[in-house]
Every structure is written in structure tokens, then in C-alpha cells.
Structure 1
Amino acid sequence: MEGLFAILLLLLLMGLGVPVAWSFAGVLAYLAVAYDANLDTLMMQGFRSVDSVILIALPLFVLTGYLMQSGGIASRLVTFIETLVGKRRGGMGASMVLASGVFGAIAGTATAAVASIGTIMIVPLEQRGYPRGYASALLGISSLLGILIPPSITMILFAVVTRQSVAALFAATVGPALLLIVGLILANRLACGRLFQEVAGETQGSAKPLSKGRATWRALPALSLPFIILGGIYGGVFTPTEAAAVAAFAAMAIGFLVYRDQSLTHFSRSVVAAAETTGSIILILLFSFMIGRILAFERVPQDLTELITTLIQNPLLILIAVNVFLILAGAILDDVSVTVVVAPLFLPLMVDTGIHPVHFGAIVACSVVIGANSPPVAPILYMACRIGRVSIHKTFAPALQLIAFVGIPVMLVTTFVPELSLFLPRLLGFI
């Protein structure tokens, strides 16, 4: 009962506008009093859990995302992809989806993708006939490819709290990511002509379009980043943590020396913003580790497993119930909260049901894609609306349509077709 009340307390504090990290601190204080926990021991265990080499990758990937935005890398990626597919029916929307995917293959975060890709593409999309509400909804959902396409900050957090291989989790979300890309491109193509009419030709006020060869040449340094990062990880050249350092250094070098769009002022702002984001996540992790220690000591996950298996015997129904819970949790909590609190809580149940922990990581990632764009909280969707300068009410309908016809089917396929997530990790020898 205390565990359930703790989750309700977390929702209440976040609903009242308390910062996420301090909402976790409030829950920790309640559980420490309710279970008479030793805070000295908990603090020591919490710091030991945060003292992880894997977590060094977190600030580096966050910094990479900010450096891509300020160093001109994101804009050249968008120009390159738009040159290739932008003139086809639904091409501008497809360009946004693909640009978000490529951005995610470098930075590993959704918020940076929303800010970078949205700032560049919302106005051209509107000039081509896309309603701002629809464009913002498409931006919100496609930006979550940063969570699915490796490297992924969310999967790094999942690996830390569940003691799984980071490389295996990176590989597990590739299949769902490709499925989501195809689904979003097809849905956008169907929307063009039914929900709105796409205007052919170049966007108004745009500069003279580049040839494919010139756009490719200009984007080549940026396009080399995902190949260096992913090729290095899966080729055994360096670990995910080392890959994060390589990505940050490469983004800095390209911004300063190749494109020369980076400045010391922009660089310092990127470092400060990355430090603020990382500090918030580390605090959440610290408090969540301590909360997890209390819950584990009081056997809350085991009691939850016994309760659900008593009420539901069919493994398929258990999977559906967990899917529904993850989506609802994602609609109320942010992706970090879902990953570090809810996911470990359900992991024993999933293992008892026969779900591999790496497969469960892919399921959690898909649920975050849906939850982060679902009302009432919808943090990524709200951010997309701010970037798109449009009322949230104009984005809810198209966002829910994309979730219903693309997001949820991708999550269900990921859940009930384990090989979609496990084939690549097994092929690469990670599991």
C-alpha cells in the first residue's frame, strides 16, 4: 500500500509544479518515514549506485546534442535530407522524420531533437501547406526517435537501474525505431491530400536550393558522426561511454573547425545547458536508487508480481496490462521517471512471465514514445508546441491519431514479436 501511495504522491507533487528531482526527494522522505529506513545507509548506497562509469556517457551525449544545435550540424543534416526526399508527396514531413532519426543516432535525446529540428523545419512545413498543429504533432512524435535509435540516454538509464548491457539495449531498439520511421512516413503520406493539401515546389523565401551532390558534400562531416559512434560501439573499437566522448569531441571539432558556426559564446551556453540537464537527471537517479532500495527491501516488486499473477494468469493479458500501465504512466510522468522507477518495479514480473530484460527495455522505450506525447502532461508535445508557436489544442487531435495508428501498433508489435528487439543483440553477441 505504501508503494502505491508513493507513486500517487509523486504524481501529486509533479502536478503541483514541484520540480521532478524534488518530487522524488519528497517521495523518498515519505518512504523513509513509513518504513523507518536508515538514511545514512541509503545515502551511501545511492552514491555507490550513481558512481558508475556508464553514467559518464550521460553528460557527454547531452552535450553532443546541444553542440549539434549550436554548431550548425543539425541544420546541414536537415538540408541534406530535404534535398533527397523533400519534393515528393509528403516529402517535407518525411524529411522531418528522417532528420529526427539521424539526429537521434548522434545525440540520443528527444528534447534536443525537438529544439533543433523544429526550429529549422516548422516554418518550411507551414509554407508547404502543413498546418502548424499537425507539423508540431509530427515533430513531437518523430523526435522520440532519439530515444529509440542508439545511442539513447533513456536506454543508458535503463541499463544502469536494471544492470543490463548498454550495447544490448542500444541494439534492441533499432528494430522498433525503423518500424516507427516507416509508420510515420506512411501516415504522413496518407495525411497529405486527406487532412491537408501539400503545396508543391520550394518554400517561400528560401535560399536557392542546393544540388544533391553539394548538399551531400556539406552534410558529410555531420553524416560521419553516426557511423563513427555506432560503428565504433558495435565494431568493438570503443565502449558506449568512450563513444559518448568521441561524439562530443567530434561535434565540437566539426562546429569550430569545419562548419565554423560554433562560437565561444554558443559553446559556453551549450556546456551550461548540458550541465543543468545532467544535474537534474543525476539527482533523479540518486533519489530513485534510494527509493528502489527501500521498495526492494520491503519486497514491493515481488508483492506486485504476486498480485498481478494472482489476478491475471494469461501471459498475453499480463503483457497487455503492463503495456497499458506503461502508457498511462508515460502520459503522467516524464521519460526519466518512467525509466528509473516504473520499469524496475515491473522487471521481476516480466522475467517471471518469460520476457527477456533487454526485450522489456525496448517495450519501455516504445511506451515513452507514446506517453511523452499523450495528454495530460505530454512534455515533448508541449515543447513541440512552443517551438511551433501553436496552441496545444490544435496538436492534440493529430498527435492522438499518430499515436493510435502508428505509436501503439509499433509498441504492440515490439511486445508480441520478441525477435524484433532480440535479433540484433543476439546477432552481435550481446545476449
Structure 2
Amino acid sequence: MASSNQDDHHMASMGSHSGLPPLNISVAFPQATPASVFPPSSSDYYQFDDLLNPEEQALRKRVRVVMEKEVAPIMAVYWEKAEFPFHVIPKLATLSIAGGTIKGYGCPGLSITASAIATAEVARVDASCSTFILVHSSLAMLTIALCGSEAQKVKYLSSLAKFDTVACWALTEPDYGSDASSLRTTATKVSGGWVLDGQKRWIGNSTFADVLIVFARNTSTNQINGFIVKKGTPGLRVTKIENKIGLRIVQNGDIILNKVFVPDEDRLPGVNSFQDTSKVLAVSRVMVAWQPIGISMGVFDMCNRYLKERKQFGAPLAAFQINQEKLVRMLGNIQAMLLVGWRLCKLYESGKMTAGHASLGKAWTSLKARETVSLGRELLGGNGILADFLVAKAFCDLEPIFTYEGTYDINSMVTAREITGIASFKPAVLGRSSRL
């Protein structure tokens, strides 16, 4: 009789090698096409494309082709492994969308509408790729463009625009998420530069970023300043956050800054308070508002095809009234989301957009996308939990987007502050009567 140790070894061996490799999804489930062969676009029911100029329409098509050809076939595999497909970065670079609205310095100088459309088209196929670009472009690059010196723009933006280097944006800390302005990471002035000490969390792209935009509290002024920290700087330590259920391809990291020296030339001169950080967030929030739109478009496209291919009770699922109603509700949500997103861009382009406008756009589109993707998950039945058919992946990927760059509740309060004139972020201090 085998010893218990031998039994344990045998069971472990069986667990790691049991069974045969899984069937290819097309063999295992031949009745419907998986998302690796991405469905044609079918969500523009109100012909929103007519509102775009020829350059914006051309960009939309170009991004769609690259995403469907290069990313769709591999996204489920990398999502499952929680690894980043670095070989895709040169393909994304060919789109010329990094840098978005930034003019000069090798950046594309797109309209904010074009940049938003590109964001949606990337997210339509894969939300993780969209977040990778958003962090790199609409947060890190935009901070350098809005708050950097001329020398910093010349030094960093061209390389970032070509994806020769990758950037991240480090604001959030373990103790400060929504209450970001209270951050504790410090910046102390020393001869020739600054010393940063502290910790950051949830920083997308940070595990492999060449350039890290880090926000810290100036120990002399108590105000928030911004710094460009380079990969490999002594005292900088970045580790990957494991066990995420959403945006698994995105490499989020914990950052430890232990007496990290940053030369004076890498302090961002335009970041002198949290308000300067908020200027960047207001613009990037427009881009984030378009991620749920793109995700919803992709889920609708997948469901529309799936319901026509999948048959039960002798008929395609598209023939059943309840399924049709759900599909139409999804479609209606997308039309409304597109028009809200488009109007938000036009307000920005005309100089009329406020922080409240941007916050309402992000909060509302992410809320309606949650409903839309939930309906899609219902429509796909058992396959609604398989990343191979997109919807399960999109369902999970939407959850971090619902939370980051301001939770639904915090963004709602930003808008409410504008329309009521009353800030409600901090709760009233509990009086003695509450202890009775």
C-alpha cells in the first residue's frame, strides 16, 4: 500500500496532467462563432457615423480593422493568463492614436471626437487594450503635455507617441482612492532634485512602464506636485497585483518609493496643486466615458450574431420575443450612450465642458453599459460565462471601469455639486447625540 506522501504526489501529478487538452471552441461548440472571429459592427442603428467628419470615419475604420485582425484572435488567451501581449504594441502604434489631442512633438493632434471614437473602437474588441492606451495616452502623456516644460515635452512625448516607450500614471494610494487629494506620498527638496517616499496602488502599466508620472505632497508647501520617474531608478519597486477578475490583461501594480531621487529637470512645473491634476482627469474622463460605449457595442455585435446562429427548440434564439426585447433594449442604450458621448466631445471642443459634464458622462455611460452587458450575458446562456464569446470577459472588464477615474457615486457627486452648489463628499461630523 502506498504511503500518504506517495498518494499526495500521485494526486498532484494527476491534477497537473489529468485529461486531454481542451477541444478547440469551434469544435466543442460548432453552432456559434467565437469572438476570436469578431462579428461585424451592427450597433450604429441611428447612423451616428453621419455625425463624424471623413477623418474621424476613416480613423474608426482603421482602428476597427487592426483590432479585429490583430487583437480579437488572441485576447481570450491573454485574458485567461492575465498576461500582456507585448507583440501587439507595434500594431497599436500603427494606429497613430497615442497622444490623442496633443499637437506637435510627434503626436497625432486628433480632435477629441476622433480620440473618443478610437477609444470606443479599441474597447469594442478588448477593454484591456483600451485601458492600456488610455493610461499611457490620456493620463501620462496628457499630463506631460498640459503640465510639463518645453524640454520635457520634447524629451518624452515623441517616443511615447510611437510606443517606443510606455508610460503609467501614479496617483492612487492604498489608503486614498476616491479621496485622492489627501495622498500621503511625499516629495522633499534636496540639492539638485527631490526625494520621493511613499506607496501607490492600482497603477496600470506600471510593471513594465519606462516612464512613471508620480504625484506626491511637497513637504514644504503641503501641495501636490508631479514628477517623472524613470524605470530602474534606485529605490523604485513595482510588483504586479494578482487575482483580478477584470481587465486581466492590464498589468496593475503596487509601487513602493523608498528615497527615490528625481532630478529637478523631471519635476513637472505645471503641477502645483491637486487642481492641476484635476484638469488632466477632466479630459481623460471623457475618454473613459467612451470605454463603456465601445464595450457595449462589441457585446451587442456578439449577441446579434450569436442569436441568429444558436438554435434551440427548432428555431434560432433570435426568433424568441423575450430575446428580441433584450436585444432592442441593448441597442437603445447604445444609441443614447453614443449621443451623450458625442455631445460631451462637442462641449469640450467648444470650450464649454465642465468637470460636472465629464463626470456625468462617465458615470452614466458606465451605468448603462452595466445593464447592457448584463443583458448580453443573459442572452448567451451558458456561453455567457465563457471568455471565448466575449460577453463574460466584457462583463468582468466593465467592473473596474465602473470604479476607476471616479466611482459612479463620486462622479455623481461632482455633477451634483455643480447643479446644487453644495459639496457632499465628506460626511457630517457625528455629534455627541449619535453616541447615545
TM-score (ref. length: structure 1): 0.26
**Higher gyration radius (CA):** 2
Q: Which protein has greater RCO, CA pairs closer than 8 Å, 6+ apart?
A: 1
The structure where strand makes up a greater share of residues is 2
TM-score (norm 2): 0.25
- Greater helix percent: which structure? 1
